Amino acid sequence: MTGNESPSRSEDDRLAVVVAKPRAQDAIDALQAEGVYDADRSVSEHGADAVAIPVTESPENVSHREVVRQVGEPRLRTLEDHLHERGWSDDELDAAPGSWAVIGSVVLVDIGDAPRPGEVGRALLTMHGEADTVLARGPISGTHREPDVEVIAGEGDTETVHREHGVEYGLDLAEVMFSPGNKAERARMGDTVESGERVLDMFAGIGYFTLPMAAADADVIAVEHNPVAFQFLLENAMRNGVQDRVQAYRADCRDVLAEGLDAFGEAPTVDRIVMGYYDATESSGDGGFTYLDPAIGALAPEGVVHVHEATPESLAFERPIERIEAAATNAGRSVDVLDTRRVKGYSEGVAHTVVDARIR
Sign of CA dihedral 215, 218, 219, 222: negative
CA 261, distance to chain mean position in Å, is 28
Torsion-angle region of 36 (φ positive above 0: left; ψ -120 to 50: alpha; else: beta): alpha
179 is in an annotated binding site: yes
Phi, psi of 336, rounded to the nearest 5 degrees = -115, 115
- How far lies 134's CA from each of 22, 160, 189, in Å? 16, 12, 29
235 is in an annotated binding site: no
Count of other CB atoms within 10 angstroms of residue 159: 15
**Distance from C-alpha of 127 to C-alpha of 78, rounded to nearest angstrom:** 8
**Distance from C-alpha of 305 to C-alpha of 281, rounded to nearest angstrom:** 12
Per DSSP, helices labelled H in 240-298 are 253-259, 292-297
Spatial contact of 340 and 315, defined as CB atoms under 8 Å apart: no
Q: What is the DSSP string of 148-205?
A: -EEEEEES---EEEEEETTEEEEEETTTS---GGGHHHHHHHHHHS-TT-EEEETT-T
DSSP code, position 356: E
Evaluate the omega torsion of the peptide bond into residue 317 and state whether it is cis, within 30 degrees of 0. Answer: yes
The CA radius of gyration of the chain, in Å to the nearest whole number, is 23
**Distance from C-alpha of 123 to C-alpha of 62, rounded to nearest angstrom:** 28
Phi, psi of 220, rounded to the nearest 5 degrees = -115, 125
224 is in an annotated binding site: yes
Phi, psi of 316, rounded to the nearest 5 degrees = -85, 125
Q: Which amino acid is residue 321, in one-letter code?
A: I
Annotated binding site for S-adenosyl-L-methionine: 179, 186, 224
Binding site as annotated, residues = 179, 186, 224
